[in-house]
Structures are given as structure tokens and as C-alpha cells.
Amino acid sequence: MVGDDDIESRGGRVKRNGYSNNNTSSSSAYASSSAYVIEDTDSQWTSWLVPMIVVANIAVFIVVMYVNNCPGHRHMRLVGKCVARFLGRFSFEPLRENPLFGPSSSTLKKLGALEWTEVVVKHQGWRLITCIWLHAGVIHLLANMLSLAFIGIRLEQQFGFVRVGTIYLFSGFGASVVSSLFIRNNISVGASGALFGLLGAMLSELITNWTIYTNKAAAFFTLLVIIAINLAIGILPHVDNFAHIGGFITGFLLGFVLLSRPQFGWLERQNVPAGTLVKSKYKPYQYVLWLVSLVLLVVGLTVALVMLFRGENGNDHCRWCRYLSCISTSRWDCNGI
């Protein structure tokens, strides 16, 4: 998710094989996208939801550009000419206003961008959801949709559209809530909070299914490095790292709730002789992680929503948290961002 017209960072991806009776797994980093892709030759699901989400985001962006109508803005002479004017009303705002080749911030705000005043003072809570489907520009849209394709399609093939869709939407919602708690002066749009949720879910899936993977330590370390790099880049100005963190935490907890895999003994229960003691479906630690994560998720979102709609500023309760989103240097100043 980005504040105003800026784009979140992209890191790498981890690739590992899914489990089977003769399971092997390997880890390798790629620099092209923020993803941790699970591959399994015995995929049980056909991915259709993630492609539909990609199509929906593209369709929404086209509608936003139609509504934006850059040539119809009277103020455009003050900031420059529209970009790609041959596109007519679909042309982009001057690069001085939006370097990502997209609409104006006023158009994004009009169509559902996240802003504290609109959500809390004007009681427009629907913006916590609509902002997930808006993007600041073509670059922003392409980055998020390519990352979603890398992450989401394989996840959906592994775990089905219900669980992946739930993680995506709830992570986006959690990202919006955390962002609104800490950022009051800027608008924010984008699906990166939901994408970080999928990344967090992959980490918790690896942890909760730890015993069924080989080379898991290498996969775990690689994934942690990728997450750390993405979050570190989020401290650059105009990047909404609070949304990234909120989405990641939400997805991480949901991963324990929704992505646990049964033990091998449970999967093979139909092939064991009669009278043989069959293992429980999940290991005890998986049940513990499931319960703890569910409680933390429900309590955390409830407390955050109560604080948000009471008008409380998260920075008043956590003085150092502002450094999670932006750190001032000699090259830029975070004040007013």
C-alpha cells in the first residue's frame, strides 16, 4: 500500500516443493517479486479467484482513469501537461503530480482512498476495504498484480480459493486499520497490505507444518531475509509501511488458523490395518498455534477498530512506531509525510 502516489517495494521469492510421501524441498531467492511460492505436482485446486482479483483490479483502474479525465482538469496548465494525451480522458496526470502514471490524488480520494478524516470523522468505514482495490498508477498496479500472480496462484492451487481469499481480504482490511491508526495526513491506496498478508501466511504455514518439510531451516531463513528486506525498504518516505506491517501480522496469524496440514499418519489412515491406532489429524502444537493465533487476531482487530473509531492516534501510544514507516536522513525529511 502506498501513501499518495508512491509504490511499495518488491523483494524476492522463495520456491519450495510441496510435500508428498517422498517429500523434498529446496529454497532459492529471486529478485523479481515479493513472493514465497509453493509448488506441488499434486495440486488439488484450480486457481480462478486470484486471476479474477487481478482482472478486477485492472478493471477498477480503468474506471478510475475514466473518472479522472486529466484533459478536463482546469488546473493542469499549472503543473504541466497530461501524459500520453493520445489516450484522451484516460491519459495520465502530469508526472510532477503523479510519477507512477496514474490519476490525481483527489480522484483517488473521491473513489475510496484511505484517509483518516474520511474514515473516522465522516464515518466512511467502507474506505478500509475500497482502498485495497485502488492503485496510484500503472507502475503501482503492475507491481502489485505481478506479485499477486506469483504468490496467489500457487497458494490457491495448494489451499483453495476460500482460504486464500479469506487471507487476502482480511489482511488487506487489517492493513487499512493499522495504517489509519498511525497515518493521518496522507491518503493511501494499494493491495500491498494484502500481499504482505499472503507473505506472512506463507511464513506461518512453514512454521506450523515444520515437521513435514526437509531443508526447512534454509527455507525459513531465506523467507525471513525476504520479509526483512521488504519491510526495510518500507521506511522510505511516502511508502505506507504501517499497511505492510498490519497486513503481514494479520496474514501471519491467519496462516496458523487456515493453513495447517494434517499429519502423514492421518493422510494414510485408510491404508493401515484394522485395529491400528491412528494418529490425530493435527499435532498438539498445531492446535495450540491455531487457538493462540485466533485469539490474538480477534482481540487485536477488535482493539484496533475501537481505538480507530474513538479517534485515538496510535503514535500517542507508541512514540517510536513512526520510525517503522519512515526514518529521516540528510536526503529526505519525514516530517509532514
pLDDT digits (tens, 9 = 90+) for 157-186: 999 999 999 999 999 999 999 999 999 888
What CA–CA distance (Å, rounded) separates 280 from 267?
10
Residue 22's pLDDT is what? 41
What CA–CA distance (Å, rounded) separates 150 from 14?
11
Residue 3's pLDDT is what? 55
What CA–CA distance (Å, rounded) separates 40 from 217?
19
pTM above 0.85, yes or no: no
Residue 245's pLDDT is what? 95
| 275 C-beta neighbours (distance < 10 Å), count | 5
| Residue 317 appears among annotated catalytic residues | no
| Residue 244 appears among annotated catalytic residues | yes
Residue 328's pLDDT is what? 72
Of the ranges 75-79, 141-145, 157-161, which one carries the lowest mean pLDDT score? Answer: 75-79
pLDDT at 334 over 90: no
Contact 184, 129 (CB under 8 A): no
Active-site position among 33, 192, 260, 293: 192
User: Residues 124-148: what's their mean pLDDT?
Assistant: 94
Of the ranges 40-44, 202-206, 269-273, 309-313, which one carries the lowest mean pLDDT score? Answer: 40-44
Pick the closest to residue 36 from 166, 224, 212, 211 (CA basis): 224
Active-site position among 244, 260, 293, 325: 244
End-to-end CA distance of the chain: give it in Å, rounded.
15
Confidence of residue 145 (pLDDT cuts 50, 70, 90): very high
C-alpha distances in Å from residue 38, one per residue of 25, 157, 258: 10, 9, 16
Q: What DSSP assignment string belongs to 251-314?
A: HHHHHHHH-----HHHHTGGGSPTTPPPPPSS-HHHHHHHHHHHHHHHHHHHHHHHHHHTT--H
Contact 250, 204 (CB under 8 A): no
Residue 335's pLDDT is what? 64
pLDDT at 30 over 70: no
User: Residues 3-8: what's their mean pLDDT?
Assistant: 44
Q: Give me the residue spans of the domains in the chain.
A: 114-261+280-323
pLDDT tens for each residue of 225-262: 888 887 887 777 677 889 999 999 999 999 999 999 88
The CATH number of domain 114-261+280-323, selected from 3.40.50.2300, 1.25.40.80, 1.20.1540.10, 1.10.1530.10: 1.20.1540.10
